[in-house]
Amino acid sequence: MTATPAPHSPRRRALLAATEPARTLATAGSMAALLPLLRWAPRGEPHPVLVLPGLMASDLSTRVLRGWLGRLGYPVVGWALGRNRGPTQEVVSELPLLVDRLAREHGTSVSIVGWSMGGIYARRLARRAPRQVRQVISLGSPFALTDRGMDDSPGARAYQRLRPVGGTGRIHSSRTSLARPLPVPSTAVYSRWDGVVDWRACRQEPGPRSENIAVHASHLGMGHDPAVLWVVADRLAQPRHQWRPFERPTTFGLATLFPAED
């Protein structure tokens, strides 16, 4: 068995970054091939789901993910704030209002799925309004970046450049580390093959209601990767007050989609 190169190797980081587009296209192909199996994904109680896009992306990037969740029976919405340009004053002001509106309209708390920077927003929202947030699922979100210190990954450099744009920075700032367990159930999905952000910054401290799940996805392919879609469906299907850690599926050979967690 060939040993996996060290995740912090500069050569490996450069290779992963260079192959992100090709691997993302490959993910789209695997999505089409595995679509029949995804029909067996868990389904749960319908409740509102908010999907937040990554840095410099818009709701267009989460269309596949939202369409998938809609077919599972969830009332799902995007953030409708255009391109994600970082924690601008509009984002800081509007996101809490959006979560509040969804919770009031549906009479129940909201699950938030955040991709990359969207997951950072999601974790801050959960700390700010835990009664309105049912759970948080982050996809390749480097919320522990500030704890680890800036690295030389493409994502870290982009986040560094955006710091002055953030205005108040309230989405990011907190006396409590974003990597610590949230007051609501939380799942952090990460990939050692992420070519945009350091995968180690995408993991949280494990706890009774917090977990990390490894997948094989590229960063740009997270939103339509079959393993990621299965994880999101499985987590949303958890009964509201009976959350349990994720168990890799064993049927149809789906377990091969999930590498072992460190």
How do residues 22-77 score in pLDDT, each as one tens digit?
A: 777 676 666 666 677 788 899 999 999 999 999 999 999 999 999 999 999 999 99
Rounded Cα–Cα distance for residues 136 and 146 (Å): 20
Q: Are 63 and 255 in contact (CB under 8 A)?
A: no
Bridge partners, 77 (sequence order)? 50
pLDDT of amino acid 67: 94
pLDDT of amino acid 239: 93
In the chain, the domains with their CATH numbers are: 19-257 (3.40.50.1820)
pLDDT of amino acid 1: 35
- Find the helix or strand (DSSP H, E) in which 66 lies: helix 63-71
And the tokens for 10? 């500069």
Rounded Cα–Cα distance for residues 68 and 217 (Å): 17
Instruction: Write the pLDDT tens digit of every residue in 87-127.
Output: 999 999 999 999 999 999 999 999 999 999 999 999 999 99
pLDDT of amino acid 169: 44
For the chain, percent of residues with pLDDT exceeding 70 = 81
pLDDT of amino acid 201: 93
Say how many CA atoms lie within 13 Å of 111 toward its Cβ.
28
Does residue 175 or residue 83 have the better pLDDT? 83
Rounded Cα–Cα distance for residues 159 and 181 (Å): 23
pLDDT of amino acid 118: 97
**Confidence category of residue 173, pLDDT binned at 50, 70, 90:** very low
Instruction: Write the pLDDT tens digit of every residue in 235-255.
Output: 999 998 899 999 988 887 788
- Find the helix or strand (DSSP H, E) in which 49 lies: strand 49-52
Does residue 177 or residue 185 have the better pLDDT? 185
**Confidence category of residue 21, pLDDT binned at 50, 70, 90:** confident
**Confidence category of residue 175, pLDDT binned at 50, 70, 90:** very low
User: CA quadruple 231, 232, 233, 237: dihedral positive or negative?
Assistant: positive
Q: Are 221 and 29 in contact (CB under 8 A)?
A: no
pLDDT of amino acid 13: 72
pLDDT of amino acid 234: 97
| Mean pLDDT for the stretch of residues 177-206 | 93
pLDDT of amino acid 261: 64
Q: Are 123 and 174 in contact (CB under 8 A)?
A: no
